Amino acid sequence: MPPITRRKPHVIVCGDNPLAFRLVEELTIRYRVEVRVILPSRKRNRAPEIAAMANVKVVEADRLDEEAFRNARIDSARAVAFMEQDDVGNIHAALRAQEIKPGVRLVVRIFNTNLGRRLGELFTDCAFLSDASIAAPSFVAAALGEVAPNHARLPGRTLYVARRREVPTNKIICGLARGDFTDPGEVFPEDHDSADLVLAVADGQVREPLRRGRFRWRPHVLLWTGIRGMFGRRLWIVTMLMVAVLVVGSVLYGIALDHEHWYDSLYFTLLTAAGGAEPNEHLDGDVKVIQTVVMLSGIALVPLVTAAVVDGMVSARLAATVGRLRDFTRSHIVVVGLGNVGSRVMIQLHDLGLPVVAVDQDPNAIGVRIAQERRIPVILGDATQAETLRAARVANCRALVAVTSDDVKNLEAALHARSMSRDLRIVLRLFDGDLAALIQRRFTIAASRSVASLAAPDFATAMLERRVFDTIPVGRRVLMFAEFPIAVGSELHGRAVCTAHIPGKARVIALGRSGADPLWPAPPDRVLVPDDRLIVLATRDGVGQMIQRTEPGLSGPG
């Protein structure tokens, strides 16, 4: 009888976009696992680069059907990841994969994280991840000038790391570490109240250190801004010339006609400009010249007034559409692009109490509706045009974050913004890392980020380390958000939530319940029952110990 040959466990990645490319790169280089990639064609998108990687096998298929999964050998796969930008399509394919191989680990890319959380009960072992949610904190941190991103978006809320003295007690989720941001000491101290750094809920209130610029109400600046905003650049120049002619005409009339009062000269000048003067052959020659010049200048007065009125009405209509764009006096942040990533960046900045102005060319973009619900001003226009950036007050803003899906548009918008303000902080979304580094040095751009590069490690971790769904840096440490269902017969079954904390390694921050929203924070005296889900912030060792304590027959020392 021939020996039985066991297939080496591998993972499957579905997709040929930049995120799929970075994920395959992460899996093959960092974890050294064999990857089979299902994609429509070897010749399109990132497929040629994926096919050229070592330890990668490509399966061409137009649809993610049973045949495609069989050809990718799903029967021996350790995990399957769905990387397309289609929530419904990814969920459909994941359900089909689960039918073919029940119990296989599934990692699904999704934008609507609330939908993913509610659909979790349809799957035996599935993680729903949003690359936009993973990447957004890094863009936010770069815009604010922080050393590292220190906040994360979880279902229904944004959490961030702060010093205890800067956060109201009722907004603190748990203590994280003793020390400061640069060199935190012990994490998750047993005495929760002794931690200097805490995990807090962002509620939209302005607090240091997240906001360094302060809003100052200055009526005279608002008045001048309003007047200036009613006129375009060319109209403004013509208006100034017209005013100059009328002023000079008034002075010359006063000298030539010996008017004792300046308002008599102004009165005569305005009537002449409006066409109210009559020819008089007895006037001196110099007075006739003045009258003729003022009269001709007055011909331009009516169309000029008409243009000003029309332009003002258009500006008012725009203001009514986008909301009140205040004079933020160098404290607002402009977000260009309201797709998946831009929407998340805008939401997190708003949650952190920072004034935001959003820009997008598409009125149907995902983030436009979200911005309107939150009363965030939106400029509908092309950010590669200087007029659009001026409407967003880029010259007076604190930072510009360009996160459209088009690298060229992001770069063009950044260069226009740089020409308006030399000291403006600019953050770009770019896929090519080498290009990003060159641009960052050449144009003194604060930071450039690749969404795919930021998100790929989390997707890889979710495929191979099943419990983790997000991370947050604290100094040089990286803490993990993970979810642990309580199994019948596990160590924590029937015990109170407060007994689940592991000093120095893990702390329960919320309690998920079947068919209901999570409880924030988790009630310490609540007795844990099957189907409860502990949402935990932990070190890597803490994740391992929580697995032991929540699965039957695996309990160990806590």
| Predicted TM-score (pTM) above 0.85 | no
Per-residue confidence (pLDDT) for residue 104, from 0 to 100: 93
Taking the C-alpha atoms of 495, 499, 505 and 511 in order, what is their torsion angle to the nearest 10 degrees?
A: 60
Rounded Cα distance, 554 and 545, in Å: 9
Q: Confirm if 125 and 104 have CB atoms less than 8 A apart.
A: yes
Give the H/E segment covering residue 351: helix 340-351
- What Cα–Cα distance (Å) separates residue 104 from each residue in 155, 175, 499? 25, 36, 31
| Lookup result for tokens 């297939």 | 7
Per-residue confidence (pLDDT) for residue 215, from 0 to 100: 40
Q: Confirm if 549 and 490 have CB atoms less than 8 A apart.
A: yes
Q: For residue 515, what are the contacts with CB-CB under 8 A and spacing of at least 6? A: 121
Q: Confirm if 148 and 168 have CB atoms less than 8 A apart.
A: no
Rounded Cα distance, 541 and 558, in Å: 11
Rounded Cα distance, 469 and 150, in Å: 16
pLDDT tens digit at each of 558 positions of the chain: 344 333 457 999 999 999 999 999 989 987 788 999 999 999 988 999 999 999 999 999 999 999 999 999 999 999 999 999 889 999 999 999 999 999 899 999 998 877 877 777 788 888 888 888 888 877 887 888 754 446 676 766 778 888 888 888 888 888 888 876 555 677 888 887 888 888 888 766 644 344 443 344 444 444 554 555 555 555 666 667 767 766 776 676 666 666 555 655 665 665 565 555 554 545 565 665 666 665 656 566 666 666 655 655 555 444 444 444 444 445 789 999 999 899 999 998 888 788 899 999 999 998 999 999 998 999 999 999 988 998 888 988 889 999 998 888 998 998 889 888 888 888 888 876 666 667 767 766 767 778 888 888 888 888 886 667 677 767 656 688 888 889 888 999 999 999 999 988 899 999 987 667 788 888 999 999 988 889 999 887 787 788 889 888 655 444
Sign, CA dihedral 390-391-396-399, equals negative
Q: Confirm if 479 and 537 have CB atoms less than 8 A apart.
A: yes
- Looking at the DSSP bridge assignments, the partners of residue 109 are 129
- What Cα–Cα distance (Å) separates residue 191 from each residue in 177, 251, 342, 518? 10, 81, 39, 25
Please, what's the b/e burial string for 355-383 (b: 16 or more CB within 10 A of its CB; e: otherwise)?
bbbbbbbeeebbbbebbeebebbbbbbeb
Q: What is the DSSP string of 179-247?
A: S-SSS--SBS-SSGGG-SEEEEEE-S---TTT--S-----HHHHHHHHHHHTS-HHHHHHHHHHHHHHH
Q: What is the DSSP string of 55-110?
A: TEEEEE-SS-SHHHHHHTTGGGEEEEEE--S-HHHHHHHHHHHHHHSTT-EEEEE-
Task: Sheet containing 172-177: give its strands across.
Answer: 151-154, 157-163, 197-202, 172-177
C-alpha 1: how far from chain center: 60
Per-residue confidence (pLDDT) for residue 77, from 0 to 100: 94
Per-residue confidence (pLDDT) for residue 71, from 0 to 100: 95
Per-residue confidence (pLDDT) for residue 5, from 0 to 100: 37
Per-residue confidence (pLDDT) for residue 383, from 0 to 100: 92
Give the H/E segment covering residue 251: helix 233-256
Q: Confirm if 516 and 510 have CB atoms less than 8 A apart.
A: no
| Lookup result for tokens 């102005």 | 357
Closest CA to 145 of 398, 384, 468, 461: 398
Please, what's the b/e burial string for 181-193 (b: 16 or more CB within 10 A of its CB; e: otherwise)?
beebeebbbeeee
Which amino acid is it at 433? G
Rounded Cα distance, 189 and 507, in Å: 10
Per-residue confidence (pLDDT) for residue 208, from 0 to 100: 39
Q: Confirm if 455 and 515 have CB atoms less than 8 A apart.
A: no
Q: Is 43 helix (H, G, I), strand (E, B) or coil?
A: coil
Q: For residue 440, what are the contacts with CB-CB under 8 A and spacing of at least 6? A: 428, 446, 447, 448
